[in-house]
Structure 1
């Protein structure tokens, strides 16, 4: 008998709360939006998937905040913990959390998919040096609609895809806030050149070089795989998530039918990127200023014991 914890779903009440945030409305209207999406999943599942991904990344931040502002400084993948942290508290999460939450939403709505893992590029810079990758440390979903596979990712941060991408050779590049594409080819670190992982890449515009963000294979990962990945990413001293603070969210355009940029806290700077135009909004000179900025720009209200959690860490802003 299959362990039900391995394939969790959300309750009706949890979905209504999720959709109320997704559409920034009261619970009554959130329930109506949920019913609309449920009908759309039946009549046009791809359009439903596009809407859900777009609104999810514009509602729930990509963040490693609790690794620095908490008394425990750990990441739990328990479904109820994810819901409380991301939906009820608004603290965001990184890939295994944000995509993990989205995975449960999609499963509850009846989508067909399976999770997989990716290797993140070591450089995230234009050019051939992107051929070098870390070990498996990123979570994505492979959603199947009308026998066509789509890579869906709501947990890579400001360079992550903003819509489902077709897993098919020779697909045209996708243009939006920035350009995105999937290509399938071998990577130099493999001894077997016949292995051709999919590579997600992005660039600012057609005049810019591609940046390969990560690669992944068309195989299903199990919850135990993500448990191992989560431990290394959240606890290892060489992990970038233990060395710096990031809190970022995508921004919808006025019509709310596309992504036009993102708002980001990176270490001690608040900046916004709208259609490629980057503006620094605030330089933070103390912990008090950073906590206040999280409240002002992201509506994140940290508790006193969470604020004290960063004391003595290398990521603490030292006030001179």
Structure 2
């Protein structure tokens, strides 16, 4: 049976990247891709290499919005030239989904992948079984057909935010993949919106399942007996374009009700240490008994680790997450403290002369 197909079995065609081969090569060096080819045209656009690219990307670029508050313009530019200059050439930080996934999608094109981008609706509601509360289409996502001769499609999100995906997932109802560690899994389910007007027939009016939902499951206790499941967002397979993202991006950084207006956020993956990886391996068997994932984890000996942790900036603290364990690693009491934390944990450069631009805005420390 055919699995992982877009509606009507359509193919994604090859589209040239906005970035030059030289820029793509510099990107591979920036993310520390293991043994990169001297010429991007020699890159092998396989599923395994896609997973490695994704993990190198999310350990390099943080999900963050520092420019929104520490700049005179208080915007979040998303043009390809800006993203390349800030993230790759100057290595000054990351972005949120429009930037991180925007850069990644174009670099994938430059490496020979057939890909396009779509959009999703973030769920701001609590964990399941509580009903979702969706925002508008303000989250950028990516679709890839890594095989050179068929239309098998994978979904991915390399934005690095929150409980981010760490590897592609087959676009198939009920598919699951392992997340940062064996204590986390991401899954896809096809569903229908409760308020939808669409049905499979007029006779029984069964709601048409045309919407996808990305779920994440977390082991919340070291013994693996407590599991939390959250619906992260919904998405459709329509292709979205520059005008769509520019409009959505403007709405995100100007909305006074948005978390990005109220906060300076940060989230970044990191490779686990050998000791932390050993602890994960020791608990692997117990956790995987609870896991419905159908794929195996790609092991690449050139990578620092097979598992990831995450740093997160939450209010005035920075937390370090490894599997079900969370520790506070930094407490901030001033803008200088936050500047140093952004640099140390998230690779974000904020110049001292730009710190004053946050004054009077919601995230600012008391002056």
Q: TM-score normalized by structure 1?
A: 0.88
- Partner-residue secondary structure (3-state), 2:44: helix
User: Is the aligned partner of 1:228 residue 2:228?
Assistant: no
1:36, CA displacement in angstroms? Answer: 8.6
- Partner-residue secondary structure (3-state), 1:212: strand
- 1:203-282 aligned at under 5 Å gives the runs 203-205=217-219, 207-254=226-273, 256-282=304-330
Based on CA coordinates, which of the two structures has the bigger radius of gyration?
2
Structure 2 vs 1, CA of residues 69 and 75 (structure 1 numbering), >3 Å: closer, same or farther?
same
2:64/2:96 contact within 8 Å kept: yes
Q: 1:283 aligns with which of 331, 335, 342?
A: 331
1:19/1:34 contact within 8 Å kept: no
1:38, CA displacement in angstroms? Answer: 5.4
Identify unmatched segments of 5+ residues in structure 2: 1-14, 199-206, 274-302
- Partner-residue secondary structure (3-state), 1:296: helix
1:156, CA displacement in angstroms? Answer: 5.1
Q: In structure 2, how many angstroms separate the alpha carbons of the residues matched to 1:105 and 1:277?
A: 34
1:270/1:282 contact within 8 Å kept: yes
Match of 1:122 in 2: 124
Identify unmatched segments of 5+ residues in structure 1: 1-5, 25-29
- Partner-residue secondary structure (3-state), 1:262: strand
1:116/1:219 contact within 8 Å kept: yes
User: Is the aligned partner of 1:12 residue 2:18?
Assistant: no
Structure holding more helix per residue: 1
Q: 2:210 aligns with which of 180, 184, 196?
A: 196
Q: In structure 1, how many angstroms separate the alpha carbons of the residues matched to 2:364 and 2:135?
A: 27
1:131, CA displacement in angstroms? Answer: 2.5
Structure 2 vs 1, CA of residues 259 and 230 (structure 1 numbering), >3 Å: closer, same or farther?
farther
- Partner-residue secondary structure (3-state), 1:53: helix
- 1:78-157 aligned at under 5 Å gives the runs 78-87=79-88, 88-123=90-125, 125-145=126-146, 146-155=150-159, 157=161
Q: In structure 2, how many angstroms separate the alpha carbons of the residues matched to 1:307 and 1:12?
A: 36
> What does the per-residue CA deviation read over 1:21-75, in whole Å, with 9 as the maximum and x for residues that have no partner?
2118xxxxx8x51449754525xx1011111111100111111111111111112
- Partner-residue secondary structure (3-state), 1:82: helix
Q: In structure 2, how many angstroms separate the alpha carbons of the residues matched to 1:180 and 1:229?
A: 25
Match of 2:298 in 1: none
1:17, CA displacement in angstroms? Answer: 2.1
1:217, CA displacement in angstroms? Answer: 0.7
Quote the RMSD (CA, aligned, Å).
2.2
Structure 2 vs 1, CA of residues 175 and 84 (structure 1 numbering), >3 Å: closer, same or farther?
closer
Q: In structure 2, how many angstroms separate the alpha carbons of the residues matched to 1:174 and 1:233?
A: 30
Structure 2 vs 1, CA of residues 7 and 245 (structure 1 numbering), >3 Å: closer, same or farther?
farther
1:235, CA displacement in angstroms? Answer: 1.1
> What does the per-residue CA deviation read over 1:131-159, in whole Å, with 9 as the maximum and x for residues that have no partner?
22111110001111331111111115021
> What does the per-residue CA deviation read over 1:184-238, in whole Å, with 9 as the maximum and x for residues that have no partner?
1112232332143110010113741320000001111111111111111111111
Structure 2 vs 1, CA of residues 40 and 79 (structure 1 numbering), >3 Å: closer, same or farther?
closer
Q: In structure 1, how many angstroms separate the alpha carbons of the residues matched to 2:361 and 2:176?
A: 45
Match of 1:33 in 2: 36
- Partner-residue secondary structure (3-state), 1:169: coil
1:122/1:130 contact within 8 Å kept: no
